[in-house]
Amino acid sequence: MILINEWLPNPAGADAAGEWVELFNGGQSPVSLNGWFLKNGNGKKVFLKNHSVDAGAYLVLKRNETKLTLRNNSETIFLYDNAGRLVDQSGFLGSAPDGKSFARRSFSEGGLGKNDFIFAEPTPGQVNKAVDNGNFLINNAYPAGQPLNNPVKYFDIAGLTIGLALLLAFFTIVLFKRNDYLSNLFFGRD
């Protein structure tokens, strides 16, 4: 099982020299990544040719090698297998802190699911550092595919329309009452 384990979207210093994505093989055998690809939030795909990951090992893919750019604000990356199926994804909302990687929390930490990520100290090619004090910079627990805001309902739109119409009518009446020419023109008042 290949997963996105950690990635650094906003390194301290130049992004081009410091960005990377780390994959982890949680399976029992090596996996060839020929035909697999990563995709960023802008839709750019990067194929992972001539790469494999041993069982229980990490693979760090640096930006200068992959040419995959990562946004510092509200970014998501996707991992697809050689059949084009989505295998894993990881994303955050807001701004990535300088020099912090977006890291998967260990499965053993409090029984959390595999999609729990936090910003932490970067550990490329190694086990992610656990944060035991609960002072996480971000704990991204948004369910995938769910809207973050409540959907707009018909009555919301109707109420907004009526409110705007009343406001426009009020300002029109005030404008006509204060301007004698418009008042005479539309109401025939002398």
Residues 93 and 116 in one domain: yes
Which of 40-43's residues contact partners 24+ apart within 8 Å by CB, and which partners? 40/68, 40/69, 40/70, 40/71, 40/75, 40/76, 40/77, 40/78, 41/71, 41/74, 41/75, 41/76, 41/77, 41/91, 42/69, 42/71
Q: Is residue 174 part of a domain?
A: yes
Residues 90 and 168 in one domain: no
Residues 114 and 178 in one domain: no
**Per-residue model confidence (pLDDT) at position 157:** 86
Residues 17 and 111 in one domain: yes
Q: Is residue 100 part of a domain?
A: yes
88: left (phi over 0), alpha (psi -120 to 50) or beta: beta
| Residue 55 to residue 28: CA distance in whole angstroms | 5
**Which of residues 20 and 109 earns the better pLDDT score?**
20
Q: Is residue 145 part of a domain?
A: no
Residues 109 and 167 in one domain: no
Strands 31-32 and 86-91: unpaired
Q: What is the mean pLDDT of residues 79-86?
A: 94
Q: Is residue 15 part of a domain?
A: yes
CATH number of the structural domain spanning residue 80 = 2.60.40
Residue span of the structural domain in which 167 resides? 154-187
Q: Is residue 148 part of a domain?
A: no
Query: CB of 104 within 8 A of CB of 122?
Result: no
Asked whether the predicted pLDDT for residue 175 surpasses 50, the reply is: yes
Residues 23 and 114 in one domain: yes
**Per-residue model confidence (pLDDT) at position 136:** 46
The CA distances from residue 100 to 18, 77, 144, in Å, are 11, 16, 23
Q: Is residue 64 part of a domain?
A: yes
Residues 170 and 77 in one domain: no
Of the listed ranges 13-27, 52-66, 130-144, the one predicted with least confidence: 130-144
Q: Is residue 146 part of a domain?
A: no
| Residue 123 to residue 100: CA distance in whole angstroms | 10
Residues 116 and 163 in one domain: no
Give 124-155 pLDDT, tens digit per residue.
999 887 654 444 444 445 555 555 566 677 77
Asked whether the predicted pLDDT for residue 93 surpasses 50, the reply is: yes
Q: Is residue 95 part of a domain?
A: yes
